[in-house]
Amino acid sequence: MQKNDNQESTQEEEAVPGMQQLLDNPFMLLFLGVMFPTVFYILWGIMEIISIPAVK
Amino acid sequence: MAAKMFRQCPDSGLFFHKSAESLMKAHAVLGVVYLLVGGFLGLLVALTRMPSLHLLSAEDFYLALSIHGTAILIFWIIFFEMAVLYFAASTLLRCRPATPAFGWLGFLLMVIGSTLVMVAFFRGNSSVMFTSYVPMPAEPIFYLGLILFAVGALIGCFIFLGTLVIAKQEKTYDGSVPLVTFGALTAAIIAIFTIASGAVILIPTWLWSLGFINHIDPLMYRTVWWALGHSSQQINVAAHVSIWYAIAAILFGARPMSEKVSRTAFLLYILFLQLASAHHILADPGVSSTWKVFNTSYAMYLAVLASMVHGLTVPGCIEVAQRKKGFNNGLFEWLKKAPWANPVFSGMFIAMIIFGFIGGITGVVMGTEQINLIIHNTIFVPGHFHATVAVGTTLTFMAITYFLIPVLFRRELIWPTACKWQPYIFGGGMLILSLFLLGAGTLGVPRRHWDINFSDALLQFQFAGTAITMLGIAGFGGFLAAVGGALFCLIAVGSLVFGKRLDPGASLFSSFGFPMASSCYNVERPGKLGLAPVEQTGDGGVQAKGTFVLALVFLASFVVYFFINAKYLSSIWPMG
Ligand code: HEM
Ligand SMILES: [Cu+2]
């Protein structure tokens, strides 16, 4: 966790890999973290529940 | 001239911003208040479930159970987590918090909300337990209180995100955010989903309690509610795992074995942990097996994989750090020579072991659709989650508090001997409670049940004598855990009031959310957080031999336990 204060940043020039770009983007992560459960758990679940035929 | 708002802790080197620090303190202290209330009622609940004592009346039992679950699972943990978020964003990134005034608004909403819920409980007409399943009605202020509390927490999450943005703009750090901050981000993201789901279901339920809506479908309620109920537990997992990494770094100077692997594991949490909410609906009709199996198997196993990665890399990085210091003999010298008398370490390590071995294994086993039928709604379930949330999360939070009292509050801990023993008393008591609740549940004892002797029921049922004995032992474990919990509260509050001041600027008020004397804040802008030295790759896995052996033991226990349950299922539910 703790980082070294006097270390010079040497990696600035290198291209940042795609995965790291994703991990460095909090709002993209937020989007994914809300989308996944909303689609697979909530929306899918609710669709199944409302498609149960009603008994009259 | 910009004001000087930061101070650097001379013991830890950490930078604290005046407003963020006050917010951390206020949230943490309020959390401990709810831990005290909830823990005391937990004791009464446990003593009622002990058949020989059967302490409370039926009505008081359900009241106590409702308060226990809500105060401790929701209020204690979320208040403390807000403090963790401020710490992970402002202190670790050396950044001013975004909109601290809104932070206080959020805090105020959480205080008002939780107070309303407590008032509703004590008025006696809202003993609906923390799940508040419809159509069981609570008073409108109960739901309103939960909603206000959630809005307050949501504000805290957005301030966390805002602080990340400021830190990036003002370039307070180089490269990526530290792993602990990344873990806290995971927690905040899951929290936002959790709170949104809560709003979707609790706002209509509130309107229903006021008479504006006349029907809420129970299955719909349960499905959406568990997106809140389950995901909120995953906020805890992300938060306590982050603290494990923090403690490994603080105490051992340990660096993550691989930033890449640990961050990817957190990403698996973000994507998949919340889908496992479906394991609470496994016994419900109306949703298909496809939905259940997709969410609880495929998705959940990916999240479990992530937990196993953390379970391997946290002790692994400690092992590597210890071996570098020369504790290199045999498989386990690094562990034997760990600071077992320091509650920051012992608390964290006990939390990790019990979380993984008991909470993790029982969780995966009962998340299996078929096996779930053996234990659904039995007291096995509280057995499982006291290992996860009462030991895994709560004991981890206790452990980091022992670090924060000197560093954040600038007070010395009182009663060093009691501090040394507290994690063992609490962890040991909880271990007994958990194991024997698991045992009694396997024999069919229901959860949330006031009288399993059915003394005045028309239809009689007799549980096995072993089950009754196990509940008795569980009660003893609960008592021990309550002693450990009370000790923690005494030490924490006692240190804040009577502990020796480590900084002349610390006052009684500054223990409870006010800033310290302004002369303490003498840094205008902390130095930039630099990049960590480049990882040494390659030998980490080989160096952590002891951890590897622990992992194999874990795997073997898991396989054996899974097999036993599958066998048991086949015997109580014969096929063919
Ligand atoms: C002081 C130590 C504690 C004792 C003796 C204790 C005891 C118990 C017992 C015996 C039950 C089961 C009641 C039943 O189903 O009939 C229970 C339920 C529960 N406990 Fe604890 N517990 C303690 C601490 C904690 C902590 C630290 C947490 C979480 C952070 C926690 C969270 C819960 C929750 C969420 C329930 C479920 C309530 C419900 O079914 O509505 N407990 N506790
Ligand atoms: Cu769950």
What does the pLDDT average to over A30-38? 96
Q: Mapping DSSP to helix (H, G, I), strand (E, B) and coil, where does residue B212 land?
A: coil
Please identify, by atom number, the ligand 1 atom nearest to the C-alpha of residue B474. Answer: 10
Q: Mapping DSSP to helix (H, G, I), strand (E, B) and coil, where does residue B378 land?
A: strand
Q: Closest to B192 (Cβ–Cβ): which among A9, A30, A36?
A: A30
Does residue A37 lie in a domain region? yes
Phi and psi for B213 in degrees, rounded to 5?
-125, 140
For B357-366, what is each residue's pLDDT tens digit? 999 999 988 8
pLDDT at B539: 53
Length of chain A: 56
A-facing residues of B in 150-169 (CB < 8 A) are 161, 164
What does the pLDDT average to over A13-23? 83
Q: Return d(Cα B221, Cα B208) in angstroms, integer.
A: 12
Number of structural domains chain A divides into: 1
pLDDT at B459: 86
pLDDT at B297: 80
Q: Closest to A33 (Cβ–Cβ): which among B193, B246, B528?
A: B193
Write down the mean pLDDT value for chain B.
93
pLDDT at B296: 86
Does the interface predicted TM-score (ipTM) exceed 0.95? no
Tokens of B275: 């889908």
> What share of chain B has pLDDT > 70, as a percent?
97
* Contact between B196 and A6 using a beta-carbon 8 Å cutoff: no
pLDDT at B533: 65
**Domain ranges across chain B:** 339-453+462-515
Q: Which residue has the tokens 């309103």?
A: B144
Residue B437 pLDDT > 60:
yes
Give the largest CA-CA distance in chain B: 83
pLDDT at A3: 46
Residue B340 pLDDT > 70:
yes
Q: Between B539 and B423, where is the model more confident? A: B423
For B120-144, what is each residue's pLDDT tens digit? 999 999 999 999 999 999 999 999 9
Residue B480 pLDDT > 60:
yes
Residue B299 pLDDT > 90:
no
pLDDT at B521: 92
Q: What sign has the CA pseudo-torsion B2, B7, B12, B13?
A: positive
pLDDT at B2: 63
> Which range marks the domain in which residue A24 is found?
16-56
Residue B540 pLDDT > 60:
no
Does residue A31 lie in a domain region? yes
pLDDT band at B567 (very low <50, low <70, confident <90, very high): confident
pLDDT band at A17 (very low <50, low <70, confident <90, very high): confident
Does residue A2 lie in a domain region? no
Residue B302 pLDDT > 70:
yes
Q: How far is the CA of B471 from the centre of ligand 1 (A)?
A: 14
pLDDT at B541: 52
For B34-53, what is each residue's pLDDT tens digit? 999 999 999 999 999 998 99
What angle, rounded to 10 degrees, do the helices at B218-252 and B179-209 form?
160
pLDDT at B1: 46
Tokens of B227: 């997106």
Does residue A50 lie in a domain region? yes
Q: How far is the CA of B511 from the centre of ligand 1 (A)?
A: 29
Residues having CB within 6 Å of any atom of ligand 1: B 39, 42-43, 45-46, 49, 65, 68-69, 72-73, 77, 129-130, 379, 382, 386, 389-390, 394, 433, 447-449, 478, 481-482, 485
Residue A2 pLDDT > 50:
no
Phi and psi for B28 in degrees, rounded to 5?
-65, -40
Q: Closest to A7 (Cβ–Cβ): which among B253, B260, B530?
A: B530
* Contact between A9 and B531 using a beta-carbon 8 Å cutoff: yes
Does residue A3 lie in a domain region? no
Does residue A10 lie in a domain region? no
pLDDT band at B98 (very low <50, low <70, confident <90, very high): very high
Ligand nearest to C-alpha B300:
2
Residue B409 pLDDT > 60:
yes
Does residue A7 lie in a domain region? no
For B203-227, what is each residue's pLDDT tens digit? 999 999 999 999 999 999 999 999 9
What does the pLDDT average to over B70-82? 96
pLDDT at B7: 94
Q: How far is CA B360 from CA A42, B147, B242, B308, in A?
A: 25, 31, 17, 9
Cβ-Cβ contacts under 8 Å, B192 against chain A:
30, 33-34
